[in-house]
Structure 1
Amino acid sequence: MNSRRPLLFGAAIAATAVLALTGCASGGNDAGGDGGQGGGDAGPDYGLVTDGTLTICSEVPYVPFEMEGGDNGTGYTGFDIELTFAIAEKLGLKLAVQDVSFDGLQSGTTLIAGTCDMGASAMTITEERKANIDFSDPYYDSLQSLLTSVDSGITSIDDLAGKNVGVQQGTTGESYATENAEGATLVQYPGDAELWPALQAGQIDAILQDQPVNIEHEKADENYKIVEEYDTEESYGFAFAKGEKQELREAVNKALQELRDSGDYDTIYDTYFAAK
């Protein structure tokens, strides 16, 4: 989803060694209530934040990828959440979800700090992000799109001159709008939870962001429609702290492939994206 600027990475490197050592020590030895079982189930040293639990970071809500609710025990659901729940099961782990800001997650600072083991937040794999983050294999392909009200008079990105266009800060949607929405004023928001109400309130004229999220808004309110889609050849990946969690990343890739081979991935996918 997003183009990122390298935030504070140079400064964060100095702290990485200490944080990594601390995180590995706590993951392997500070077992807590379920430490014995977690260490046995995990097998390899995944360096988990909490023994026996795969802790993921995600910005909620970002429908249909992450939202509150569900019955998996985490308090959250959505495509990303259910897919990582299935991956955790493959690894013999429980799943826990931390709601964090996307900007801190995509810049790598949240992962370096050891808040979670993995980021799962509809994050596009980009070369810029790879400087600060290690990615899993791709797990979802996406498009960008332009959402506006049915009576806005906007029919394409060429109609945005003089308009206020909402984008999520630090995303590929923001990058695409910056490069292609000539004459538009881009208004940055932390996430879709702020973008959508701003459009409904008339504070912005359109939203340029990931297609699946805009589709949900289009379905929810007939006064809004997607007027254009953009193939930016985006693929989402799960994010890991740079240079850390290699065994976990390899295990996640293996589990993801197993879910594809078994058809379980398709079942989860169809729950959220099949034509209705």
Structure 2
Amino acid sequence: MNEKLKIGLDFAAPVPLHTDFSKGNFEGFEVDLMNQIAAELNLELEYSVSFWKDIIRDLQDKKIDVICSAATKTSEREKEFLFSRPYLDFHLGVVCYQSNRLSLDDLTGKRIGVRISTEAEKYLKEKFSDIKLEYSDSNEELYSQLRKKEIDALLDDSPIAFGLTQDNPELSISSLLPDTSAQYAIMLNKNNLDLKKKLDVCMDKFSSNGLLEELQQKWFKGAEL
């Protein structure tokens, strides 16, 4: 019997990295990636879904083994957690109506939506003192606010913004922020060095054999991330 790997997922499903686990037809870039890792390491995958702050706590308490749910690798997080080698490069992007395209310079004085406890929230707080932040727990709520014009724009990771604007053609990524280059990686408990080493071997293999590029083309074809 294969060893189980417990994976934490964000309740705010970051489509197309992964869809909502509770609604069936569970798929996405990270789903394919974890299935490949499971095959390489002879693991059985078990998923747990909760709010971001809760899966972070579960990882600290070793209730789950990893988080693979659009987890951005940052120097601040590396003080508390381990990360695998990254699997996707991206930027933050401004999302707004096609008819009212905004750049970063246009955000002053505007109502900007972000998900709680994200790098987008942190970035806006550091860069602006004169915008009104509107918070959401989920992507569905965040993009709904923009569609209803309750906010003027939102700031999101470009892979997630790409996925969620595909079903909302009236919305688009108006600009990528060049000073926000970032990477997604699998997040682990600080003490789980053995698993990190195994994941890094997988990532090196998937990078060299073209699997990561193949997955990016499958899920983000034509996207500028």
Q: Determine if contact 2:104/2:177 at 8 Å carries over to the other structure.
A: no
Against the structure 1 CA distance between its residues 182 and 166, is the aligned structure 2 distance closer, same or farther, given a 3 Å change threshold?
same
Change over 3 Å in CA distance of 1:160–1:264 after alignment to 2: closer
Asked if structure 2 preserves the Cα contact closer than 8 Å seen for 1:78 and 1:272, the reply is yes
Any stretches of 5+ residues in structure 1 without a counterpart? 1-36, 39-51
Identify which range, 142-151 or 155-164, moves more after superposition: 155-164
Question: Any idea what the Cα deviations from partners look like across 1:190-247, whole Å, max 9, x if unmatched?
Answer: 23122111211222111101112212233222221222111312111111112x2211
- The amino acid across from 2:130 in the alignment is G
CA contact (8 A) 1:157 1:180 kept: no
1:79 matches 2:26: no
User: Size of the alignment, in residue pairs?
Assistant: 219
State the match for 1:197 in structure 2: 144
Q: Secondary structure at the match of 1:53?
A: strand
Check if 1:252 corresponds to 2:204. no
Match of 1:266 in 2: 213
Please name the residue that 2:46 is paired with.
96
For residue 218 of structure 1, what is the aligned residue in structure 2? 165
Residues in 2 aligned to 1:77 and 1:132: alpha-carbon distance in whole angstroms: 29
Write the letter of the residue equivalent to 2:64: C
CA–CA separation in structure 2 for the residues paired with 1:163 and 1:246 = 44
Q: Read off the aligned partner of 1:169 and give its amino acid letter.
A: I
Contact 2:15 2:164 in 1 (8 A): no
- Code of the residue aligned with 1:97 in structure 2: it is Y
Counterpart for residue 175 of structure 1? 122
Shift of 1:80: 1.3
Residue 154 of structure 2: which of 203, 207, 217 is its match? 207
> Normalising by structure 2, what TM-score?
0.89
Percent of aligned pairs with the same amino acid: 25
Q: For residues 49 and 184 of structure 2, what CA distance do their matches in structure 1 show?
A: 18
Instruction: Quote the offset at 1:133 in angstroms.
Output: 1.1
Alpha-carbon distance between aligned partners in 1 of 2:53 and 2:137, rounded to the nearest angstrom: 8
Distance 2:4 2:194 in 1: 15
| CA distance in structure 2 between the aligned counterparts of 1:75 and 1:111, rounded to whole angstroms | 26
**Per-residue Cα deviation, 1:104-136 (whole angstroms, up to 9, x for no partner):** 33xx42202223111101111111111221111
Q: Secondary structure at the match of 2:91?
A: strand
Q: Which 4+ residue blocks in structure 1 deviate beyond 6 angstroms?
A: none
Instruction: Identify if the C-alpha distance between structure 1 residues 115 and 198 changes in structure 2 by more than 3 Å, giving closer, same or farther.
Output: farther
**Which sections of structure 2, spanning at least 5 residues, go unmatched?**
none
Structure 1 length-normalised TM? 0.73
1:127 match: secondary structure: coil
Aligned to 1:16: none
CA RMSD of superposed structures (Å): 2.0
2:20 to 49, 64, 68: 68
Partner of 1:140: 88
Larger radius of gyration, structure 1 or 2?
A: 1
